[in-house]
C-alpha cells in the first residue's frame, strides 16, 4: 500500500507536487495523467525516493520513505521515461550488477536474471552488449531491471515510449495481472493514451490532484459530452441520421467517417453504436477521438 499525506516536493526551487494526498492499494493499476508539467514524473520519482519531501509524509507498505528509504527501495521497481546511455557491458552482466545491489547472491541471483530476461523476451540477448541495443530493447532492459527482485510495486514513467507492439503487449500482460497477484502499478502517461488493464486514474495539474477514480469514462459524469469517431464504410451520412436522437452534433468527415459529440446523459458510447447497427449501417470501428482521458484533461482545464 502507498499512502501519501499532503506531500510537497520541489525541483530546482519550484514546487512540483503541492500538498498531494492519496492512497493506492494492492492490486490497483493506476494511470497518472495530466497536462505538461502537471507533476506526473515528479510523483513517480518521489515514490521511488529519488526526490525528497519538503513537507508531508509518504509511507510505502508501512515504511516511512524518508527515514526508511532503503527498505522502501526494496519494494519498488522503477522504469524511468528515458533510455540511458549504457556502458559497454553485456545484458546479463548489467542485470547481475543490479541484482547484486539488491542483495541477491549465487543461484538466487542467476535465477532472478534469467527470470527477468525471460519475462521481457530478452533471454536470447543475454550475451549482447547493452550499448549496442536499439531503443526498443533498451526499454525492455529497464523493465527487466525493475523486475529483478520481484517487487510488489512497479513505477512506470511513460511506459510505452520506445517499445514496439510486442513490448507493449508484454506491458499489458503485467498490468492486467496486477489485481490477480496483488501488485501495485503506478504509470505516468504523457499522451493520455491509456492501454487496457488499468483499474484507476489520477488526474494531476500543477502538482495537485484534480480528480481520481476508476479508469473508465462513465465514472466522470462532469464531462457533458464525449467526442467520438465512427468508421462506417460508404455510410457516414446514414450513421449521422441513425444517431441524431443521441448526438448533440455530428460531422460527416467523408463517406466513411463520422465525428460526433455524444451527451453523457443520454448513455454510453455503446448505445450510439447500437443505434447505428440497428439502422443496418456497417461499422468497422469506433473510438473516443481524442482519447477520453485527453478529453477529461481538457474539461478540467476549462473548469
Domain edges within the chain: 2-215, 219-302
Query: Counting Cβ atoms within 10 Å, is residue 15 exposed (0-12), middle (13-18) or buried (19+)?
Result: middle
Q: What pLDDT, on the 0 to 100 scale, is given for residue 267?
A: 62
Pairing label, strands 184-188, 29-33? parallel
**Of 57, 59, 120, whose CA–CA distance to 91 is shortest?**
120
Q: What pLDDT, on the 0 to 100 scale, is given for residue 265?
A: 64
Q: What pLDDT, on the 0 to 100 scale, is given for residue 262?
A: 87
State the fold for domain 219-302: Alpha-Beta Plaits (3.30.70)
Cα–Cα distance for residue pair 208/211, rounded to 1 Å: 9
**Of 256, 257, 253, whose CA–CA distance to 234 is shortest?**
256
What pLDDT digit, counting tens, does each position of 117-158 carry? 999 999 999 999 998 999 999 999 999 999 999 999 999 999
What pLDDT digit, counting tens, does each position of 152-199 carry? 999 999 998 888 899 999 999 999 999 999 999 999 999 888 999 999
Regions of the chain where pLDDT drops below 50: none
Across 166-182, b (16+ Cβ under 10 Å) vs e yields ebeebbbebbeebeeee
Q: Which CATH class is domain 2-215?
A: alpha beta
pTM of structure: 0.92
Say whether the peptide bond before residue 184 is cis (omega within 30 degrees of 0): no
Q: What pLDDT, on the 0 to 100 scale, is given for residue 266?
A: 59
Amino acid at each position: 500500500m502507498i499512502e501519501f499525506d499532503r506531500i510537497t516536493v520541489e525541483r530546482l526551487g519550484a514546487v512540483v507536487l503541492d500538498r498531494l494526498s492519496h492512497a493506492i492499494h494492492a492490486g490497483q493499476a493506476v494511470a497518472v495523467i495530466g497536462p505538461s508539467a502537471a507533476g506526473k514524473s515528479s510523483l513517480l520519482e518521489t515514490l521511488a525516493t529519488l526526490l525528497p519531501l519538503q513537507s508531508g509524509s509518504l509511507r510505502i507498505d508501512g515504511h516511512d520513505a524518508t527515514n526508511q528509504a532503503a527498505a522502501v527501495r526494496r519494494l519498488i521497481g522503477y522504469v524511468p521515461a528515458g533510455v540511458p546511455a549504457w556502458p559497454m557491458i553485456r545484458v546479463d552482466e548489467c542485470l547481475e550488477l543490479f541484482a547484486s545491489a539488491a542483495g541477491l547472491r549465487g543461484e538466487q541471483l542467476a535465477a532472478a536474471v534469467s527470470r527477468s530476461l525471460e519475462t521481457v523476451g530478452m533471454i536470447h540477448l543475454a550475451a549482447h552488449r547493452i550499448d549496442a541495443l536499439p531503443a526498443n530493447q533498451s526499454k525492455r532492459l529497464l523493465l527487466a531491471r525493475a523486475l529483478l527482485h520481484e517487487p510488489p510495486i512497479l513505477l512506470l514513467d511513460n511506459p510505452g515510449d520506445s517499445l514496439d507492439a510486442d513490448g507493449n503487449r508484454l506491458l499489458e500482460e503485467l498490468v492486467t495481472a496486477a489485481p490477480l497477484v496483488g501488485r501495485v502499478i503506478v504509470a505516468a502517461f504523457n499522451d493520455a493514451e491509456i492501454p487496457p488493464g488499468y483499474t484507476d486514474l489520477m488526474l494531476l495539474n500543477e502538482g495537485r490532484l484534480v480528480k481520481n477514480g476508476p479508469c473508465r469514462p462513465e465514472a466522470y459524469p462532469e464531462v457533458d459530452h464525449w467526442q467520438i469517431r465512427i468508421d462506417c464504410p460508404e455510410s457516414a451520412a446514414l450513421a449521422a441520421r441513425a444517431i441524431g436522437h443521441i448526438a448533440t452534433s455530428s460531422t460527416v468527415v467523408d463517406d466513411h467517417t463520422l465525428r460526433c459529440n455524444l451527451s453523457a446523459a443520454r448513455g454510453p458510447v455503446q448505445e450510439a453504436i447500437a443505434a447505428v447497427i440497428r439502422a443496418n449501417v456497417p461499422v468497422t470501428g469506433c473510438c473516443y477521438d481524442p482519447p477520453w482521458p485527453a478529453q477529461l484533461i481538457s474539461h478540467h482545464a476549462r473548469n
